[in-house]
Amino acid sequence: MAQKPLTDQPVPGTAPAAAPRAADKIRRTARELFYAAGIRAVGVDEIVTKAGVTKPSLYRAFPSKDELAAAYLRDYDAEFWQRFEARLDNAGRDNPRAGLMDFLHNLGSRAGAPHYRGCGLSNTAVEYPDDSHPARKVSEEHKQKLRLRLAELAADMGADDPKLLGDSLMLLIEGAFVTGQLFHAGGGPARALAEAAERLIDSHLKG
């Protein structure tokens, strides 16, 4: 029997995979640096050096560092919703509480990781108070959507006041984003996120 080629070897007669485009390298590198150190702390020179591209290639893909920051956050936003909705799907759309709790348990665990830096979108809102900044706009749109989504889930659970429960859950989530950066050992207050949410939800389902 012929031996199958190893997965890291090219198959004869096939074209090699295309090398990552400069714009993709820049986007990935910017995300890594922006999340770890903050957008303001990272310069264009550092991004292009680590990405292994030229500065002109950055400006061909992104008109400015501000627009690159906005692109980073749009990617962050898309990935957040993919993970969030996947947990709801896994639990079944007829059981929104189970899906949300799965998300919150996971967030509480991640918030205790040594290199956890919270939510990149929340961090950006603190870095850029100007509502007209491109990155700030992406952050605000994301948070507004999250607020509405949590209220929808609260209504689906049968909460007596869906908007209040949704807002309360959002406060817990944002608190986990922040305290996770301050209390790495053991997770700090974020480790209580899921239990606090359970009790909060129960209080809105009584009566």
Per-residue pLDDT of the chain (207 residues; tens, 9 = 90+): 444 443 333 444 544 444 568 999 999 999 999 999 999 999 999 999 999 999 999 999 999 999 999 999 999 999 999 999 999 999 998 999 999 999 999 999 998 888 899 999 999 999 999 999 999 999 999 999 999 999 999 999 999 999 999 999 999 999 999 999 998 766 689 999 999 999 999 999 975
The alpha helices in 52-95, defined as continuous H runs, are 55-61, 65-91
Contact 137, 71 (CB under 8 A): no
For the four alpha carbons of 112, 121, 69 and 86, in that order, the dihedral sign comes to: positive
Q: Could you report the per-residue pLDDT of 127-183, keeping only the tens digit for each?
A: 999 999 999 999 999 999 999 999 999 999 999 999 999 999 999 999 999 999 998
Task: Report helix, strand or coil for 184.
Answer: coil
Which domains, and CATH codes, for the chain? 20-62 (1.10.10.60), 66-205 (1.10.357.10)
pTM of the model: 0.86
